[in-house]
Amino acid sequence: MIGLLSAVLPSVMEVAGRFLPEDKEKRAAAEREIQAKLTDSLAQVDLAQLGINKVEAAHRSMFVAGWRPFIGWTCGVALMYTYVLQPILVFGLAQAGYLVELPKMDLGELMPVLMGMLGLGGLRSWEKVKGVAR
C-alpha cells in the first residue's frame, strides 16, 4: 500500500494543488488531509481484499480454495526441476552416453509470483507465531 500511495500521491497533489489555498500553512494542512484520506481509501481496499481472501479460503470447492496451494506447488515443482532435477538428469544421461539437451525453464516470469507467495507465507507464519491465526 505504501508503494501505491507514493506512486499516486504526486499526481493527486499536482491536480489538487491547483485548487489548494496559496497560504503555506493552509496548503500544508490541506495536503495532509488529502494524504490521510488517500491512505484511508487504500486501507479500505486492502481490508475488502482480505475479506474476499477469507471467503475464498473457507470455500469447500477445491477450485476456489485450492488455487493458492496449486500455484505454490507449481512454483515449487518448477524450481525443483530447474535447479535439481534437470542438472542431475543431464549429468546422468551424459554418463550413460546420451547427450541430450533437456528443456530449461525461464524463471524470469515465475520468480515474482514465487517471491510474492513466499512473502505471504512468511506473513502467515508470523501470524501463527504471534497467536493471531488458528
109 and 84 co-located in one domain: yes
100 and 72 co-located in one domain: yes
81 and 118 co-located in one domain: yes
Q: Say yes or no to pLDDT of 121 above 70.
A: no
Confidence of residue 90 (pLDDT cuts 50, 70, 90): very high
Please name which of 127, 129, 130 lies closest in space to residue 54, comparing C-alpha atoms.
127
50 and 108 co-located in one domain: no
Please name which of 64, 2, 72, 78 lies closest in space to residue 35, comparing C-alpha atoms.
2
Number of domains in the chain: 2
Confidence of residue 123 (pLDDT cuts 50, 70, 90): low
73 and 37 co-located in one domain: no
76 and 112 co-located in one domain: yes
Residue 99 half-sphere exposure, CB side, CA atoms within 13 Å? Answer: 0
Count of CB atoms within 10 A of residue 75's CB? Answer: 19
33 and 47 co-located in one domain: yes
56 and 70 co-located in one domain: no
Please name which of 134, 111, 110 lies closest in space to residue 124, comparing C-alpha atoms.
134
pLDDT in tens, 33-89: 888 888 888 788 878 878 877 776 777 776 666 777 788 788 888 989 999 999 999
Find cell 491512505 and name the residue.
39
Asked if residue 67 lies in contact with residue 73, where contact means CB atoms within 8 angstroms, the answer is: no
Cα separation, 64 vs 53, whole angstroms: 10
Residues in the chain: 134
Residue 90 domain boundaries: 66-134
Q: Say yes or no to pLDDT of 2 above 60.
A: no
| Per-residue model confidence (pLDDT) at position 97 | 94
Residue 31 half-sphere exposure, CB side, CA atoms within 13 Å? Answer: 16
72 and 130 co-located in one domain: yes
Q: Say yes or no to pLDDT of 122 above 70.
A: no
Average pLDDT over the chain, rounded to an integer: 78
